[in-house]
Amino acid sequence: MAIHRKKGMKIYGKKRKKLGRRRKDNYKKYTAKLKPDNIDWSKVEKIYIKEREAFLKNQREERILSPYSREILTLLASGAVLGMSLMIPALPVALASLVIKKERFNSRYFSQTIGRLKKQKLVEIVEENGQTLVRITQEGKVRALRYKLGEITVKKPKVWDRKWRIVIFDIPEKYKRVREIFRNHLKALGFYMVQKSVWLHPYPCFDEIEFIRQIYDVGINVTYLVAEQIEGVKDLKQHFSLK
C-alpha cells in the first residue's frame, strides 16, 4: 500500500528548521559566555530594584498568587536573601508579611518552585544562625542575567529633559565578539549610531548601560556621558520624534 504524505509536510519541516536557525543566530547576536565572578554585583543589582518593588506592590494588592521561577530569581538577584518561615512551610520571611493573611496565595506551588530551582542548582538552601535561608547560586545569577538581558529597555519619560546620553566604547580587537554584542545591545535599546563606537540616546539610561558593561566585563572600555548641546540637533530630534 502506498503511503501518501500530506502536502506541505516537507515544506513545514524546512520552515521549522529555518526558524530554529534564525532563533539560534539571534541568540548568538546578543549572548556570550558570562563570567559572574568578574561582575560588580553592587552595580548590577540596581537594575533589579524596580522589578522587585513592582513585584512586592503587586503582591500586596493580591495580583500575584504565587511568584514564578523568574520572579524568585529576580528577587534574589536584587540582593535579597529569602528566609524560610516556620509559620508557613517553605515560605520566605520576606514575603510572609504580605501573604500570611491571603488565603489565595498558593504556598504549595511556591514550595514546588523553590524545590525545582534547587534541583536545577539555581538556588541553595542553607542554615544560618538558626534560620533556613534561600540564596541564589552562581548558576542562578547567570540565569537571572540572561533573563534581564533579553528584556532590558530604556523607558521613555513623560517629559524629555533636553539632554543627550552618549556612549563611547573602545573594546580591543581580541574581544571583537563582545564588542559586536555590546553594539547590538545598543541598537536594541534604540541608540542612534554617530560613529561605530559612539552612540547616542535622548533618555536616561545609565543603569541599563552599567548593567550591560558589567555583564560583559567591559566597564573600563565604555564611557557614559550626558550632554546638553550637540551638533545636528534638528536631525536627531527628527530621528527620535522629539519636539
Evaluate whether 156 touches 202 at the Cβ level (below 8 Å).
Answer: no
Q: How far apart are CA 141 and CA 128, in angstroms?
A: 21
Closest C-alpha to 122, from 133, 131, 134: 134
CA distances for 192 relative to 198, 216, 226, 227, 237, angstroms: 9, 21, 15, 15, 11
The secondary structure of 143-182 as a DSSP string is: HHHHHHHTT--PPPPSS--S-EEEEEE---GGGHHHHHHH
pTM reported for the whole predicted model? 0.68
Evaluate whether 52 touches 46 at the Cβ level (below 8 Å).
Answer: no
Q: How far apart are CA 205 and CA 177, in angstroms?
A: 23
Query: Could you give the strand order of the β-sheet that contains 91-92, starting from the edge strand earlier in sequence?
Result: 91-92, 82-85, 131-136, 123-128
- Catalogue all structural domains in the chain, each as residue range(s) with its CATH number: 37-148 (1.10.10), 153-239 (3.30.70.240)
Q: How far apart are CA 98 and CA 74, in angstroms?
A: 18
Q: What is the CA radius of gyration of the chain?
A: 23
The mean pLDDT values, 10 residues at a time, for the chain of 243 residues are 43 43 47 67 75 71 66 79 46 44 60 86 82 82 84 92 97 92 94 96 94 88 95 94 91
Return the pLDDT at 14: 46
Q: Which amino acid is at 113?
A: T
Return the pLDDT at 170: 95
Return the pLDDT at 7: 44
- Orientation angle between helical segments 69-77 and 107-119, nearest 10 degrees: 70
- Residues in CB range of 181: below 8 A, 6 or more apart: 29, 30, 31, 32, 216
3-class SS at 226?
A: strand
Q: How far apart are CA 22 and CA 199, in angstroms?
A: 27
- Residues in CB range of 226: below 8 A, 6 or more apart: 163, 164, 165, 166
